[in-house]
Amino acid sequence: MTTASTPAHVARADKARATDGASRTGSSLGYLRHAAGKLGGALVSLLAVLVTSFFLFRIIPGDPVKAMTHGVPTSAEQLATLRRQFGLDLPLWQQFTDYCAKALSGDLGTSFQFRAPVGDLIAEKLPATLLLTGVAVVIYSALGLWLGTRSAWRHGGLGDRLNTGIALTLWSVPSFWLGLLLIIVFSVGMGPIPGLFPTGGMESGTGETGFAYVLDVAHHLVLPVVTLVAVGYAQTLLVMRSSLLDEMGGDYLTTARAKGLRDDAVRRRHAVPNALLPTVTMIFINLGHVAAGSILVETVFSWPGLGGLFYQALSVPDLPLVQGLFVVFAGAMILMNLIADLLYPLLDPRVGR
Amino acid sequence: MTSLTWDRRKDSATRFWRGYRTHRAGLYGLAGLALIALLALAAPLIVGSDVQSVTEAPGTALEPPSAEFPLGTDQFGRSLLGLLIWGARISLLVGLLAAALSVAIGTLVGIIAGHYGGWFSTVVMRITDWFLVMPTLVLAIVLATVMSRSMWTVVLAIGVTSWPTTARLVRAQTIAVESRPYIERATALGGGHRHVMTRHVLPNVMPLVLAQTTLGISTAILTEATLAFLGLGDPTVVSWGGMLQDAREAGAVSSGHWWYLAPPGIAIALVALAFTLCGRAVESVLNPKLGVGR
């Protein structure tokens, strides 16, 4: 995956976050306090996102109207009209309060390219992204957990080295390149392989209904999901592996073995549930990341979702739309982090006593 | 500098190398990097800078691989092998600079937040945490969009969005180092904040910073390729991500020209993998408890 950090750091950052969350909670009252604190933090983060997106687009490019009309010949009159239309003739602080008030009531401005409210455009494309990323995250989390467990349990062996090696190699591959290559091999067809899957889009548009439509969408879903899973599962695998390796030194595992439990039962009932905790946090954080990470995959497969919309907005550049999507992507990350923070004390039995 | 310090540094370097040598994957990574770096440095001798020229392209458009052009040609008739070798320069340069920038910011923020502590540290770490939950790629794309198209924009966009993990790790390490008695001794002998931070804390966090940089480079190279693929890179230079964008625009996908598309992606993946392998080996030498494995 082409998003930010490498698996090893994420693992550590998440563990740090997890223990941080755990230490503060003591009872159900403590949990409420913890939840309120996290909720407050998330709101502050969201406000900070609004501030950033405001200043990023209004201060850095110099004149936003010039940036909006990038490369298009515009008369001074038209510029003035645009400026009035976007409220840019007002003082900066007033623009800012207007912008925040509007954004909080769900109004993200008007797209330049589509001449439609940004909020409506995003709402229209959201389901496709949720479908793609939802399916991908479920598959790669399951795959990562399974392979990570196997790797750690037999660490140092051939299977472990092969597993980690393949995962790291796929993790180093740019997702858009893998997508393009899959299209060449499986959609366009190469040599003896016929074109098995559609080259892009979400449906054939031949008017199927009911079950046939579901099958059609699933058919379109295969290659984008394979791309996202291949590039993304390494992170879950490595976190699960290192987290299980940490647990494997634990005395309680020796006790479990001394009780006469079989190796399989020790792993499934004792080691894995404990090792899962940091990984669960990471899966939620991944959900937030993947929405943004799907920009490339959606672009390559012409998937009609938010990432594809972002790419279209970039090429203009349609600043209100880019700005709106930035707020949505960042908001999704904040929301997923909040869910992870709230869930963690509930999942960890050591918390809440 | 006294010879005693030199001996000590030489000792610890030898110890580090002895540990590193036992990581086979790390050695492969190192060998791969040496080879690629050599190619990139020798590119002017091997292919010459006129490989980028569109007007004096030697071949015709979109030729398949042949004896003259081992990887075929692009839509302007330029040799793809030549472009691939030349592209290594910009990809490596941007990767190194961006990772250096990101780690420099992270180290500075981390040491200062760890050293001063108190409300100042709380505020700084809140900001860091906020950056940590930002979608890095989106932020980098947005920055690259609003600034002018150049290599430095890409470096800046990657650098200022990817520092928070380093800052967190360095801060934790700084706090650990500063709890040791010799820091108290240094302060008692009249060492100021600056002295403690640069002479005592910095050398102790350097190994961590080194591991972070190595790991950061592979992420930076991938991000650079992504930005170039989205058309946000410097249009005047050849990079691997830019080559992929060219390939897509030339219709290499629908016409099945896999030989145009495959090599730049493989090159990106190999370099990113080499840096990741080295970074993991460095990390596990310095911190064997991490469970990174061999």
Among A121, A168, A143, A149, CA closest to A225: A143
What does the mean pLDDT of chain B come to? 84
Q: What's residue B99's pLDDT? A: 93
- Reply yes or no on whether the pLDDT at A346 is more than 90: no
Percent residues over pLDDT 90 in chain A: 10
Alpha-carbon distance A350 to nearest alpha carbon in chain B (angstroms): 23
Across the interface, of A181, A245, A333, the residue whose CB is closest to B261 is A181
Q: Tell how far CA B133 is from the center of its chain.
A: 21
Chain A contact set for B147 (CB, 8 A): 60-61
Percent residues over pLDDT 70 in chain B: 92
B262 touches chain A (CB under 8 A): yes
Alpha-carbon distance B49 to nearest alpha carbon in chain A (angstroms): 26
A266 touches chain B (CB under 8 A): no
Alpha-carbon distance B1 to nearest alpha carbon in chain A (angstroms): 35
Q: What's residue A166's pLDDT? A: 92
**Does the beta-carbon distance from A322 to B142 stay under 8 Å?**
yes
User: Which amino acid would we find at residue B130?
Assistant: W
**pLDDT tens digits, A222-261:** 999 999 999 888 888 988 888 888 888 788 888 888 888 8
- For residue B109, CA distances in Å to A118, A212, A318, B132, B202 come to 36, 56, 34, 14, 12
* CB distance A222 to A197 below 8 Å: yes
Give the whole-angstrom CA distance, residue A5 versus residue B132: 10
Among B160, B115, B122, CA closest to B139: B160
A245 touches chain B (CB under 8 A): yes
ipTM value, please give it.
Answer: 0.85
User: Which amino acid would we find at residue A75?
Assistant: S
- For residue B287, CA distances in Å to A302, B20, B207, B211, B267 come to 44, 12, 10, 10, 30
**Does the beta-carbon distance from B293 to A155 stay under 8 Å?**
yes
A157 touches chain B (CB under 8 A): no
User: Which amino acid would we find at residue A219?
Assistant: H
Per-residue pLDDT band at B102 (split at 50, 70, 90):
very high
- Reply yes or no on whether the pLDDT at A104 is more than 80: no
Among A333, A339, A324, CA closest to A293: A333
* CB distance B103 to B162 below 8 Å: no
Among A8, A205, A108, CA closest to B281: A8
CA angle B19, B20, B26 (to 5 degrees): 150
Q: What's residue B97's pLDDT? A: 94
Across the interface, of A6, A168, A180, the residue whose CB is closest to B261 is A180
Among A56, A66, A55, CA closest to A95: A55
Give the whole-angstrom CA distance, residue B52 versus residue B43: 12
B160 touches chain A (CB under 8 A): no
* CB distance B137 to B226 below 8 Å: yes
Q: What's residue A5's pLDDT? A: 38
Q: What's residue B210's pLDDT? A: 85
Cis peptide preceding A317, ω within 30 of 0: yes
Alpha-carbon distance A210 to nearest alpha carbon in chain B (angstroms): 31
Per-residue pLDDT band at A16 (split at 50, 70, 90):
very low
A–B interface: beta-carbon pairs under 8 A: 174
- Reply yes or no on whether the pLDDT at B220 is more than 60: yes
pLDDT, mean of residues B116-120 = 86
Across the interface, of A4, A10, A190, the residue whose CB is closest to B258 is A190
Alpha-carbon distance A24 to nearest alpha carbon in chain B (angstroms): 16
For helices B136-146 and A272-300, angle between their N-to-C axes, nearest 10 degrees: 30
Residue B173 exposure: Cα atoms within 13 Å on the Cβ side: 26
Alpha-carbon distance A92 to nearest alpha carbon in chain B (angstroms): 19
In chain B, count H helices and then E strands.
12, 0
Q: What's residue B31's pLDDT? A: 93
* CB distance B30 to B278 below 8 Å: yes
Q: What's residue A3's pLDDT? A: 37
- Three state DSSP letters for A114-141: CCCEHHHHHHHHHHHHHHHHHHHHHHHH
Q: Of residues A4 and B98, which shows the higher confidence score?
A: B98
A150 touches chain B (CB under 8 A): no
Tokens 């098995």, located at residue: A196
- Reply yes or no on whether the pLDDT at A11 is more than 60: no
Q: Considering only residues 320 to 339 of chain A, which have any Cβ-Cβ distance to chain B shorter than 8 Å?
A: 322, 325-326, 329-330, 332-334, 337
List, in sequence order, every residue forming a beta bridge with A193; answer none if it has no partner.
A190
Cis peptide preceding A174, ω within 30 of 0: no
Q: Is CATH 1.10.3720.10 the classification given to domain B16-51+69-290?
A: yes
Give the whole-angstrom CA distance, residue A312 versus residue A303: 12
Q: Mutating which of B127, B145, B239 best tests the A interface, going by the most A Cβ atoms within 10 A? A: B145
**pLDDT tens digits, A67-98:** 566 556 667 777 777 777 766 677 778 878 88
**Does the beta-carbon distance from A57 to B172 stay under 8 Å?**
no
Give the whole-angstrom CA distance, residue A343 versus residue A26: 15
pLDDT, mean of residues A54-79 = 66
Among B275, B165, B208, CA closest to A12: B165
* CB distance A343 to A280 below 8 Å: yes
- Reply yes or no on whether the pLDDT at A113 is more than 80: no
- For residue A150, CA distances in Å to A10, A87, B283 come to 21, 59, 23
**Does the beta-carbon distance from B135 to A188 stay under 8 Å?**
no
- Reply yes or no on whether the pLDDT at B101 is more than 60: yes
Per-residue pLDDT band at A340 (split at 50, 70, 90):
confident
* CB distance A266 to A257 below 8 Å: yes
Tokens 């209904």, located at residue: A209
Give the whole-angstrom CA distance, residue B275 versus residue B8: 28
- Reply yes or no on whether the pLDDT at A283 is more than 90: no
Q: Reduce the DSSP state of residue B73 to 3 states and report it.
A: strand
Q: What's residue B221's pLDDT? A: 92
Q: Of residues B221 and A62, which shows the higher confidence score?
A: B221
The DSSP symbol for A110 reads B
Rg (CA), chain B: 22
pLDDT, mean of residues A177-187 = 87
Q: Reduce the DSSP state of residue A331 to 3 states and report it.
A: helix
For residue A67, the chain B residue with the least C-alpha distance is B146
Q: What's residue A225's pLDDT? A: 93
